[in-house]
Chain A
Amino acid sequence: MFQSIMFYTFALIMLGAATGVVFSRNPVHAVMFLVLTFFQSAVLWLMAEAEFLAIVLVLVYVGAVMVLFLFVVMMLDVNIEAAKRGLTRYAPFGIGIALLMVVQLMQLIWSRGHGFAGTGGFAATPEGYSNTKALGAVLYTEHVYAFEIAAVILLLAIVAAITLTMRKRPGIKVQNIAEQVAVRAKDRIRVVKMDAEKRQ
């Protein structure tokens, strides 16, 4: 009972926030709605006792990805009118994709053999069960190749992104740290000895 109330509360806030992402006029407000959506889905995962995934969702998406997103959105001067026109034009595509995903999810639930009724909340895990340990045990043994391939792809993406932004522009001014550290006082100042002058 209590769990159901919690679930529906967080799920409702999540849906509301997700709607806010699409309909808010200000891009920064939209990003903040997205952050709220991530938080609510993290809480839902916590209720499913997937605490590792929930905390990592907050750590990676809210703590890092969305901060960079916010950074970019603040710097851009987004034309709100143009974005609004886009909303009505792309709405049919969006609804189509959403419907497709709903159908796929339903298929998944059916294929698991639960049907739509009788899922009865989240399955409880045994005492002393550690989500993090279980995930690590599977990730580094059974799925180790997939895991490492994913890591290499991410590394490749990092290298590619950095190479794309590393353009050598002529006349660019860069600090040479080694040179700055090596500077001594005698390179910069000259102590001049001179006699005191007579008052005029």
Chain B
Amino acid sequence: MLDFFASMVPTFIWDIWNSLPPTIQYLTITVWKILFVMIVVILIVAFSTYFERKVIGRMQARVGPNRVGPLGLGQPFADVIKLLIKEVIVPSQSSKFLFVIAPLLSLIPALAAWAVIPLNDWYVIADINAGLLFVLALTSVGVYGVILAGWATNSKYALLGAMRSAAQIVAYEIAMGFALVGVLMASGSLNLGDIVMAQGGGVSQWFLIPLFPLFIVFWISGVAETNRAPFDVAEGESEIVAGFHVEYSGVGFAIFFLAEYANMVLISTLTAIFFLGGWASPFEGWTFLNDIVGLSWLTVGGLHWLFIKMCLFMYIFFWFRATFPRYRYDQIMRLGWKIFIPVTIIWIAVEGAMAWFQIGPWSGLGA
């Protein structure tokens, strides 16, 4: 990585850089890494709102936003500016401090989880060994924003939304955790970089194939964790107006919105990393593609593949929203507790048996 930059900058800058103490060098690199990831995530969030409205528009035989800028591409920025200049209203009977920090509590974990996500073979902010656990811990902390917003608002609708969300997230987190047990059994590591490495070598090596039931469980639980349709009972605009964020306006609402989309991007990326090989190329080893001009990038793993896979899952999020009716509450609980958890437990046992009898891609790790 440093070699790449070394060729880009003049030598005297390079000399100044080398004279700095290692701590300062490390801090500078890390801060730039964090800035890059944050800016990219926020830009993806901004344009995914545009993407969502276009996709849903097309599915409902409309055109979607097309007024602001060319093709309506300025729409996300127009929305952000509109939300920022709106008045912030704090209900007089609310718990002021919690009302104000609740949106932040839902946004911070969604962004902090990016610290351990590998974007390609060297770009990861913190290459820690317990990366998978870190991600699970942070996604489970995100629920506080929703619960506290619902409680601090001091409104019946908001409290109902918060209660629904809490029960739903606690239920689906267990299924999600069990699905990840399968992933770490297959990869033999909690480090997200190693999990991607274990899936290197083309489509046939992806965990999607041997762990298909766990992939389905993880993905649907992920949709439920983000409170998106068809699991959006926490908002449920036709029953409880807007649920936990019914009293939020202006910036508070904007931050909840940002947190929801940041969580969607995070879940899409995590699904891509755990089951679709992350930044690894699906066409690795297809050497004939290298001979065709303009297609050689297909066989090389990197950020572009992670981005393509993430976009695929984001599209599925929007597709769900456009086509599925909202789940009934008791059906959500039934699906989480009575179907997903047994499925994951059975598949972990199957996986253990396969590892023991040396069947499948992880045969080298078992026994």
Residues of A within 8 A of B (CB): 26, 28-29, 32, 35, 51-52, 55-56, 58-59, 62-64, 67-68, 70-71, 74-75, 130-132, 175, 177
Contact = CB atoms under 8 A, between A and B. Distances in A.
Given A51-B130, A64-B140, A132-B129, A70 B173 contact: no
A65 B147 CA distance: 14
The 6 tightest CB contacts between A and B, nearest first, are A63-B140, A59-B137, A58-B137, A55-B133, A55-B137, A51-B130
Contacts of B322: none
A67 B166 contact: yes
Contact of A67 (B98, B128, B137, B147): B147
Contact of A70 (B130, B166, B331): B166
B192 interface: no
Give the residue among A26, A62, A132 with the most B Cβ atoms within 10 A.
Answer: A132
A55 to B, nearest CB: 4
B266 to A, nearest CB: 15
A31 to B, nearest CB: 10
Contacts of A55: 130, 133-134, 137
Nearest to A174: B330
A64 B167 CA distance: 10
A172 to B, nearest CB: 13
A64 B173 contact: yes
22 contacts: A28-B98, A28-B151, A35-B144, A51-B129, A55-B134, A55-B137, A56-B133, A56-B137, A59-B133, A59-B137, A63-B140, A63-B141, A64-B173, A67-B166, A67-B170, A68-B166, A70-B166, A71-B167, A74-B147, A74-B151, A75-B163, A131-B129
Contacts of B128: 51
Contacts of A51: 128-130
Nearest to B140: A63
> Interface size bucket, B side?
20 to 34
A58 B141 contact: yes
A131 B143 CA distance: 28
Contacts of A70: 144, 147, 151, 166
Contacts of A75: 163
Contacts of A29: 98
A134 B147 CA distance: 36
Given A55-B134, A132-B130, A63 B173 contact: yes
Given A32-B98, A67-B147, A71-B163, A132 B190 contact: yes
Contacts of A32: 98, 148
Given A32-B148, A67-B170, A132-B129, A74 B141 contact: no
Nearest to B131: A55
A67 B133 CA distance: 18
B140 to A, nearest CB: 3
Interface in B129-171: 129-130, 133-134, 136-137, 140-141, 143-144, 147-148, 151, 159, 162-163, 166-167, 169-170
A34 B151 CA distance: 17
A58 B159 CA distance: 25
A46 to B, nearest CB: 10
A22 B159 CA distance: 25
A32 to B, nearest CB: 7
A67 B143 contact: yes
Contacts of B134: 55
A9 to B, nearest CB: 18
B290 to A, nearest CB: 36
A115 to B, nearest CB: 33
Given A59-B133, A62-B141, A63-B173, 6 more contacts: A28-B95, A32-B148, A52-B133, A67-B144, A75-B163, A130-B129
B334 interface: yes
B110 to A, nearest CB: 14
B234 to A, nearest CB: 14
